[in-house]
Amino acid sequence: MEKQLAILMADLTGYTAMTDAHGGESAARVVGKYMSIVGEALYGTARLMQRVGDQVVITAENASDLFTTATRMNTLTHEEQHFLNIHAGLHYGAIYVEDGNLFGSTINVAARIMNLASRGQILCSLAFFSQLPRAAQPLFHSIGIQKLKNVLTDIELFEMESSTFSNNEIDPVCHMHIVTGTTGFAIPYKGNTYYFCSQRCLALFQNEPDQFVS
């Protein structure tokens, strides 16, 4: 059955680097915590439809419920110590649902939007933005017309305004964020101070610092 739905696709930023640094057991623990956060963040009609690794697909009957869900996910992942940030894409359109599987170009566009988002960034299409209640629209700003890979029509994208979370530092090795002042693992390098979640990440950095500094 095809229906008009809002869709959110989100990944954990730096999941591969974190897995390389800390191993499969840590990756499983992070994904387990992530799924707990997703469950806590779901609002109104929002439903988790699919999960592949660290990527989740959530739909809702309206954009407002999914906007609230995305905001909660972003806040909760930022608040979790030694965790990864999300990056996410939001879209709205026709989705064909069969046996819990989703089909249609709306899915592809949402995935492309997610892939454009950077750490902690939530982007949405004009189609999604237009479905938001007027009170929520000022919480977004346009980033212009964007060309999406393998999507025929260029679309305007909007970025969700969010807290800066300026008290968080990013471990350059495993990409997990750290609340400033809560770790004893920090070293200066080329005029900057880098913070680490553990002695292991600090040691990996010291061995080849330029590998982790862009």
pLDDT in tens, 4-34: 999 999 999 999 999 999 999 999 999 999 9
Which of 138, 160, 182 is a domain's end point? 160
Together in a domain, 32 and 84: yes
User: Is 13 in a helix, a strand, or coil?
Assistant: coil
Together in a domain, 141 and 189: no
Q: pLDDT for 55-86, tens place per residue? A: 999 999 999 999 999 999 999 998 888 899 99
* Beta-carbon contacts of residue 144 (< 8 Å; ≥ 6 apart): 156, 157
Together in a domain, 106 and 193: no
Beta carbons of 57 and 47 less than 8 angstroms apart? no
User: Over 112-166, what HEC string results?
Assistant: HHHHHCCCCCEEEEHHHHHHCCCCCHHHEEEEEEECCCCCCCCEEEEEECCCCCC
Q: pLDDT for 126-142, tens place per residue? A: 999 999 999 899 999 99
Query: Average per-residue pLDDT in the chain?
Result: 90
Report how many domains make up the chain.
2
Per-residue pLDDT band for 181 (boundaries 50, 70, 90) equals: low
Q: What's the pLDDT at 162?
A: 72
Question: What's the token pair of residue 61?
Answer: 């009957």
What is the domain extent for residue 193? 168-212
Together in a domain, 178 and 154: no
Q: What's the pLDDT at 164?
A: 46
**Between these two residues, 67 and 146, which has the higher pLDDT value?**
67
Together in a domain, 67 and 142: yes
Distance CA 183, CA 178 (A): 7
DSSP state of 83: B
Together in a domain, 76 and 56: yes
User: Is 19 in a helix, a strand, or coil?
Assistant: helix
Which of 160, 181, 202 is a domain's end point? 160
Together in a domain, 134 and 196: no
**Whole-number Cα distances in Å, 181 to 9, 20, 151, 201:** 33, 25, 45, 17
**Between these two residues, 169 and 40, which has the higher pLDDT value?**
40
Residue 91: is its pLDDT beyond 90?
Answer: yes
Together in a domain, 179 and 102: no
CA 88 to chain centre: 4
Together in a domain, 179 and 138: no
Q: What's the pLDDT at 120?
A: 86
Together in a domain, 7 and 71: yes
